A = this chain, B = another copy of it.
């Protein structure tokens, strides 16, 4: 099936305790579409970059068979630039610079050839933009949005408007609590279901992720690694693996949603092992399946009766 991805493309400067990369390819749509490209060809990308966006990165995205018909290149502005510095424990980071540049004008027009997209992954952008995208589409089978505390605090009404139109939402645990006013995640999910989505993925960082639907709860741990090299993009990589698997299979059964969330975790665990996008630029099918197997050993057990 077809997968449409909307979000940011950025040139990031990232500092972690392990090193520094300057003006390296980043952004939610970049991570999501690159990850999803391992699951299906022709991932449809809608985004905007500036006149400084490297030609070699365009070629990279093309090499992943990503359909760039919806990529706008600004003639006058530079690419979105974010500069972040991670603390020693890597769960904390400071944003040194956030220059929106061309991304400030992001007002996505969905190409005619993308309007029949069946699966839609809306990266973490202004919920008004997410809604405008959805309204341009021709009844997608499954719409997922990512969001963050910034929008919950600053654009709550707009976010709740958008939530009415989507099937699934991805948030982290503190955002789920903030949005629902409930500390318990099961209770939080019920309140969020009342706002529109039928399914929720709650990301818990180093503690993994939970999938909650009206009748299923599934937990997946974060893959235990001795060193996390750079957590940038882990959440977007997770979303790309999750939506990539769903779009590849077209199967929304509980059993297949579980596989999807594990593939999301598999891809995120591969991403954080290297700097920036490097962990997912050139993955072999074997490497992905090996990690999936490792996840199975990490979580599955044989049912043995008392």
CB pair A300–B298 under 8 Å, yes or no, is no
CB pair A289–B302 under 8 Å, yes or no, is no
Question: Residues of B contacting A299 with CB < 8 Å?
Answer: 218-220, 299-301
Q: Is A39 an interface residue (CB 8 A)?
A: yes
CA distance A218 to B302 in the complex (A): 13
**Contacts A221-B208, A221-B221; A301 near B38 (Cβ below 8 A):** no
Per-position 1/0 for A162-191, Cβ under 8 A of B: 000000000000000000000111110000
CB pair A306–B288 under 8 Å, yes or no, is yes
Counted per complex, copies of this chain come to 2
CB pair B39–A259 under 8 Å, yes or no, is no
Question: Residues of B contacting A227 with CB < 8 Å?
Answer: 184
A92 → B minimal CB distance (Å):
13
Q: Is A304 an interface residue (CB 8 A)?
A: yes
CB pair A38–B306 under 8 Å, yes or no, is yes
Q: Is A139 an interface residue (CB 8 A)?
A: no
CB pair B300–A226 under 8 Å, yes or no, is no
CB pair B259–A183 under 8 Å, yes or no, is no
A12 → B minimal CB distance (Å):
25
CB pair A303–B292 under 8 Å, yes or no, is yes
Q: Is A224 an interface residue (CB 8 A)?
A: yes
Q: Is A141 an interface residue (CB 8 A)?
A: no
A189 → B minimal CB distance (Å):
9
122-136 of chain A: CB within 8 A of chain B: none
Q: Is A112 an interface residue (CB 8 A)?
A: no
A54 → B minimal CB distance (Å):
29
Q: Is A83 an interface residue (CB 8 A)?
A: no
Closest Cβ neighbor of A304 among chain B residues: B259
CB pair A298–B218 under 8 Å, yes or no, is yes
Question: Residues of B contacting A293 with CB < 8 Å?
Answer: 303
284-301 of chain A: CB within 8 A of chain B: 285, 288-289, 292-293, 296-301
**Contacts A184-B227, A186-B224; A217 near B298 (Cβ below 8 A):** yes
* Selected A-B contacts with CB under 8 Å, 24 pairs: A38-B306, A39-B306, A185-B224, A186-B224, A186-B226, A207-B208, A208-B221, A216-B297, A217-B224, A218-B301, A219-B221, A219-B298, A248-B306, A249-B304, A255-B302, A258-B301, A258-B302, A259-B302, A285-B306, A288-B306, A289-B305, A296-B301, A299-B300, A300-B301
Q: Which positions in A face B, CB cutoff 8 Å?
A: 38-39, 89, 183-187, 204, 207-208, 210, 216-221, 224-227, 248-249, 255-256, 258-259, 262, 285, 288-289, 292-293, 296-306
Lowest 7 A-B CB distances belong to which pairs?
A219-B221, A207-B207, A258-B301, A300-B300, A299-B299, A186-B226, A259-B304
